[in-house]
Amino acid sequence: MTAGVRRKRISPSRPPRSDFVLILAAGALVTMGIVELASITSAKVSLDGIPTSMIFRNHLVRVVAGCIAFYAGTRLSPSLWATWSKPLLIVSLVLLFLPGLNRLGIHPPFVCNETNGAYRSLCLGTFSFMPGELFKLPLILWIARFLTSGRLKREGYMATITPLIVLSAAVTALLLQPSFSTSIGLSIVAICILFLAGVKRLPVAFIVFMCVLAGGFIFGQSGYRNVRLKEHSFSLSVDPRELPYHPRQSIIGLGCGGMWGAGLGQGRQPYGFLPEIHSDYPLSAIGEEMGFAGTSIVILFFCLILFRGFAIARNSMDSFSFLVACGLTLNITVFGLINVGVATAVLPPTGQVLPFVSYGGASTMTNLLSVGILDSIHRSNQ
């Protein structure tokens, strides 16, 4: 890990500059999401029983809140996040367990009604959020702080037991909701942070192997997940036209767009053909209305975030900033890759949103705050 950390340079008195490429890429994705949501909401009076005018207004409010979170992230030093990481982890872990308690016959307050067979949101009046989205950032901050506290050098890979216990608790809470894709994505990010922190490859390989075994067991014990995966795999291997409804409609939307798309507001999928298009399948809407060019631009901006995030990590002044920058970058790109995989029918439907683009308050705010923290690390590197 120390190879990715450089010594601090003596810089001139000019104020540190922000990473404008990173900010531009994130801002462009948010703008594309707003434009596409405006196009989607103009097609119908309501989406999933919610007035489209309310959906668009709520999204704008959340984007503004995300911009405030981004600004706060740029102004707070990485050392403050290291200090706050443990309290933030404890609070977010408690919130993460609340929705899933309904599965155990316990009905805590503030849990939203069941949606598509899952309890994933908490409600505070008219405001709702998914604690699974909020938990990602504190987990990354705390793991980075824990692994850079000196215990890894003293205890070796045995120091990874505590992070794995916390990760196991989070995965348990997510599976109770259930949110299998979030648990898989978080596990991938956490294991990558362990590897980047210098954990030996053999223990990491063992951890990955155990996660694969646990995933196979969960799929085998969960009827609807098992059926969904079998249907998806069989359809891809025999005839893509036999895909389940959601992936098939997503592929149709992407294919109908051609190179340049049908034009904003001219897509057919928002007219009830593809449910959850504003949250789970925004890439399909972009592909239909902006074509292959539009989807390529979305992928390009995610690649820019990946490139700039790891560049910031490589130039980090300390180990904590290095791991945080890597973790935040991986968090954005891994979950973005999952959504792209679902939209292109490479993966079965998961319910994961596309970072910065999809409708969703907690995701938008968390990811914009992550970009703010990355920019703060970049500024501290100068």
- Mean per-residue pLDDT, 133-145: 93
Residue with tokens 């990811």: 367
Instruction: Give per-residue burial for 99-131: e unless 16+ CB within 10 Å, then b.
Output: bbbbeeeeeeeebeeeeeebbbbbeeeeebbbb
- Which pLDDT value is given to residue 365? 93
- Confirm whether 288 is domain-assigned: yes
**pLDDT for position 206:** 63
Has this prediction a pTM greater than 0.85?
yes
**Residue with more model confidence, 219 or 156:** 156
Out of 42-51, 54-63, 138-147, 312-321, which region has the weakest mean confidence (pLDDT)? Answer: 42-51
In a domain, 2, yes or no: no
* Separation of alpha carbons 175 and 217, rounded Å: 13
Residue pointed to by tokens 């409010």: 61
Give me the pLDDT at residue 1, please.
47
Which residues pair with residue 51 across a beta bridge?
46
In a domain, 3, yes or no: no
In a domain, 132, yes or no: yes
- Mean pLDDT confidence for 352-368: 90
Most confident of 111-120, 196-205, 324-333: 324-333
Q: Give domain status of residue 1, yes or no.
A: no
* Top-confidence residue, 144 or 159: 144
Domain coverage including residue 77 = 14-380
Q: Which helix (H) or strand (E) holds 128?
A: strand 127-129
- pLDDT for 2: 45
Q: What is the mean pLDDT of the chain?
A: 82
Q: How many domains does the chain have?
A: 1
pLDDT above 70 coverage of the chain, percent = 80
